[in-house]
Amino acid sequence: MAEKTKKKSSLWTFAENFEGDKVVWMIVLLLMMISIVAIFSSTTQLALQQGTTRMAIVGEQMAITLAGLVLIIICYNIKSIGFYRVISQLGFMFCLFLLLILAFKKPVGPFKPEFINHAWRIVKVGGIQIHVFEVTKIGMVMYLSWAVNAYVKDKFMIANILAKKYPILGKPIAKKLGYIYIPMFIVCVLIMVGSLSSTLLIGLLMFFTILIGGISIRELILPVIIAIGILFGCIGINQISDKPADQKPFPHLETALNRIKGNDREDTFEILRTEPRGSEKFQEALDESMQPVSAKLAIHQGGLIGKGPGRSTQRYVTPIMFEDYMFSFIVEEYGLLGGIFVIILYVSLMARGSIIVKNCDNQFAKTCVAGLVFLISVQAMLHIMVNCDLGPHTGQTLPMISHGNSSFLMFSIAFGIILSISRMAKRKIDKESAKAAPLVEHDNVRDSVSECESLDNDIQEEADELSNFDDIQN
């Protein structure tokens, strides 16, 4: 019995001494478990296409989940914010390197671009596929967190050295342009070649990051106007190009504009009317037209409590249910209650992220956590809105749940960084609490105790006297 009590005590002590935000730990572990269960049920069609089994796909997902957990633990155990600050400086250059490989469609050493799902979005290194846009999301949040912090504190070493010879480089506007705005515009233009939705999401993410970092709204007015001008400039370049739609400088910009206007549905229906059944074009058009319809049907058929695990029917219709329409699948099998539970997890992450930011005394750490939490939460809400037919199809996955190795691992790194910084914030709070003066001085406590003892003795003596008086009367 004593041994059992000792074991329970040890486990409880381990949980109590576990550092980092426990709510964030709970959120990420729940998302991982939901991912494994959902992938098992939703990948029937993927298994048929690849000539494999659902168990094999689940085994792969479990391996990715384990790898993601390892990445989280590695990041979590980094105890120096300086390490993240140094690594963040390389974020833009690494993202730029990968984006340029996609833009020029030429391999550089072991890095080879790949054309998948009608777009150049993948860089392959050996047998590993890197989804460049997913890397760019995390990389640019980290880089801009460092850049804004360095700008506010005037710690741009290279710019300050060059300013001795070229004074114009030492001016604040030159530093802001060179380190913050120009990298943002370059990244947005290069991403626009492959995806407008990713461009808008990452662009919004970057502007939010520098706003949290200390750049005022008034300072952002001109960059926003320039960004809008660049967008219309890219549209103009597409318009004057006489090449076919898929060979224009920004082919996916044209596709996105057609989706916004609703012209893509007309084009899809035209293909379905003219192309022979069974052809590749006909099947692609059929899949594209059925995806949003199937998502709405899945949500409608799920009802309040859902059909139950493994009983989804729309997974046989929607070819990418396990990626772009994962939320609608969850609602179909687990009902509105399951969908609300998933939404609560992401909303809880936003709440806990704000608490972590509030308790950080380092501006770089604050900006970094705020940017990463914003990325995860906004992408989740964007995915849910598309699944509920509240916006055009964007291709954004549900963070930590949808199928996708690069996305899962990059979001694991994001969660690891958030937990690492929350660990530092918790240590600071505990340290400040230990230093805080006690509410009551020790001498006052001793005096109060003595007075209480004296009063207790007086009360006891009076009680004895009353007892003796009663005995005499009797």
User: Tens of pLDDT along 132-145?
Assistant: 999 999 999 999 99
Average pLDDT, integer, range 308-326:
74
Distance CA 341, CA 353 (A): 18
Average pLDDT, integer, range 101-128:
84
pLDDT value at position 439?
47
Average pLDDT, integer, range 435-455:
53
Six token digits for residue 466: 């009353």
**HSE-CB of 18 using CA atoms within 13 angstroms:** 16
Contact residues for 153 (Cβ-Cβ < 8 A; gap 6+): none
The model's pTM: 0.81
Highest mean pLDDT among 48-52, 269-273, 331-335: 331-335
Distance CA 55, CA 60 (A): 9
pLDDT value at position 276?
66
Label residue 7 by pLDDT band (50, 70, 90).
very low
Query: In this model, does residue 213 exceed pLDDT 60?
Result: yes
Label residue 289 by pLDDT band (50, 70, 90).
low
Six token digits for residue 187: 């990244």
Contact residues for 36 (Cβ-Cβ < 8 A; gap 6+): 58, 61, 62, 65
Q: What is the DSSP letter of 129?
A: E
Distance CA 313, CA 306 (A): 12
pLDDT value at position 428?
62
Task: Identify which has the larger pLDDT, 409 or 263.
Answer: 409
To the nearest whole percent, how much of the chain has pLDDT over 70? Answer: 73
Distance CA 181, CA 220 (A): 10
Query: In this model, does residue 189 exceed pLDDT 80?
Result: yes
Report pLDDT digits (tens) over 146-170: 999 999 888 888 888 888 888 888 8
Average pLDDT, integer, range 40-62:
69
- Residue 114 phi/psi, 5-degree rounding, is -130, 140
Six token digits for residue 51: 């000539």
pLDDT value at position 362?
85
Distance CA 104, CA 226 (A): 25
Task: Identify which has the larger pLDDT, 321 or 201.
Answer: 201
Average pLDDT, the chain: 79
Query: In this model, does residue 221 exceed pLDDT 60?
Result: yes
pLDDT value at position 101?
92
Query: In this model, does residue 184 exceed pLDDT 70?
Result: yes
Highest mean pLDDT among 114-118, 271-275, 418-422, 429-433: 418-422
Report pLDDT digits (tens) over 362-405: 889 999 999 999 999 999 999 999 888 787 777 788 999 988 88
3-state secondary structure of 161: helix
3-state secondary structure of 20: coil
To the nearest whole percent, how much of the chain has pLDDT over 90? Answer: 31
pLDDT value at position 469?
45
Query: In this model, does residue 228 exceed pLDDT 70?
Result: yes
